[in-house]
């Protein structure tokens, strides 16, 4: 018989507050067209994107994260020193170590929480949310700050006609805390490493350092392969998350998919046969693809504009490089 005492965590966890930060500079498609042979109509028809936000030198990964975190903390009504964990999902923090989460934790006044970064691409927020839920339920932290943040403009090849128009910058954050009833459902997550070449960094940092290539690394993808995978395979994962939570499409209030592409979003809605009354996040139109930041940013905008309300039941799903994915049903804060 084990001598280890059982954990004294909460019975369940919930999202208590949400915050977002979008850089001040708005970049319309016309700016992208200065470096690629395309048109505004083509970009909109293929992606649904009209503009995106790009960060200034001062709007660093840490700075954007701190802004979003401050809003989430205020929205949740907790004190920074109550935060026992800080999880940052990002692929665009260019220091291998230390984790940017440790700097953010210190600058927001969180004391000495567990703090670490995760690299799970566009599914990063879902991964972070799942880890935070586990920390709260286990009892290792009462409140956990989860941040999705990207400066993908740093990893965009402006001469790549297939991707130059896709990416944006920003940060989204949530506070996860204790709950007396289930408000974050089971996570359906996984990876398909055999498809890792479909979304990737063009060259390794080692190749760039050694001078094997002169062009700075960027993100590239096989558009059609990603589209097919996202629409058909991720719709299945989304349905599995609904089933795991015991929620039918008719009971759903909000759908917040990763903001990769408007055509992918619309196709998923059709494949899932979501009722017309379900509010669908389409933040990609003016924010672009912000990878790990896209779901919390979209969530924050829906709540701020009144398109969604506190207590709504929402299906969230992130998917991207790896290929990795994570889907769950949550109650909005």
Q: Is 79 a catalytic residue?
A: no
Cβ count within 10 A of residue 161: 14
CB-based burial, 58-83: b 16+ in 10 Å, e otherwise = ebbbbbbbbbbbbbbbebbebebebb
- Residue of 29, 93, 261, 289 with catalytic role: 289
Q: What 8-state DSSP symbol labels residue 291?
A: G
* Structure token pair of residue 188: 């359906």
Neighbouring C-beta atoms of residue 243, cutoff 10 Å = 14
The two tokens of residue 195 are 């498809």
Q: Which of 29, 53, 93, 122 is catalytic?
A: 122
Q: Is 286 helix (H, G, I), strand (E, B) or coil?
A: helix
Q: What are the beta bridge partners of residue 189? A: 326
Could you list the beta-strand ranges (E) of the chain. Answer: 12-21, 25-28, 51-54, 83-89, 114-118, 143-151, 169-179, 188-191, 199-201, 219-221, 254-257, 279-280, 313-320, 324-331
Q: What is the distance between the alpha carbons of residues 26 and 11, in angstroms, rounded to a whole number?
A: 43
Name which of 144, 126, 154 is nearest 69 in CA terms: 144
Distance CA 130, CA 202 (A): 30
29 is catalytic: no
Catalytic residues: 122, 258, 289
């Amino acid at each position: 018989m084990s001598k280890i005492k059982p954990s004294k965590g909460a019975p369940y966890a919930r999202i208590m507050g949400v915050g977002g930060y979008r850089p001040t500079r708005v970049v319309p498609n016309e700016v992208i067209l200065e470096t690629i042979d395309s048109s505004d109509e083509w970009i909109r028809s293929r992606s649904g994107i009209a503009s995106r936000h790009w960060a200034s030198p001062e709007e660093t990964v840490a700075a954007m994260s701190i802004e979003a975190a401050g809003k989430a903390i205020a929205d949740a009504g907790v004190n920074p020193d109550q935060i026992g964990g800080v999880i940052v999902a990002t692929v665009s923090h260019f220091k291998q170590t230390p984790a940017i989460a440790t700097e953010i934790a210190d600058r927001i006044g969180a004391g000495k929480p567990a703090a670490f970064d995760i690299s799970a691409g566009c599914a990063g927020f879902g991964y972070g949310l799942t880890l935070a839920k586990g920390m709260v339920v286990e009892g290792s932290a009462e409140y956990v700050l989860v941040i999705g943040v990207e400066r993908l403009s740093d990893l965009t090849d402006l001469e790549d006609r297939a991707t130059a128009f896709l990416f944006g910058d920003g940060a989204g954050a949530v506070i996860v805390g204790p709950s007396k009833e289930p408000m974050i459902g089971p996570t359906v997550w996984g990876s398909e490493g055999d498809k890792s070449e479909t979304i990737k960094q063009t060259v390794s940092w080692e190749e760039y350092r050694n001078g094997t290539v002169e062009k700075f690394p960027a993100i590239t993808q096989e558009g059609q392969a990603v589209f097919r995978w996202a629409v058909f395979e991720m719709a299945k994962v989304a349905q599995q998350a609904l089933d795991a939570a015991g929620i039918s499409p008719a009971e759903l209030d909000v759908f917040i998919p990763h903001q990769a592409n408007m055509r992918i979003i619309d196709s998923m809605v059709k494949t899932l046969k979501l009722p017309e009354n379900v509010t669908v996040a389409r933040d990609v139109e003016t924010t672009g693809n912000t990878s790990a930041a896209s779901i919390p940013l979209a969530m924050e905008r829906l709540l701020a504009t009144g398109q969604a309300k506190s207590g709504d039941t929402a299906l969230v799903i992130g998917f991207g490089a790896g290929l990795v994915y994570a889907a769950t049903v949550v109650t909005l804060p």
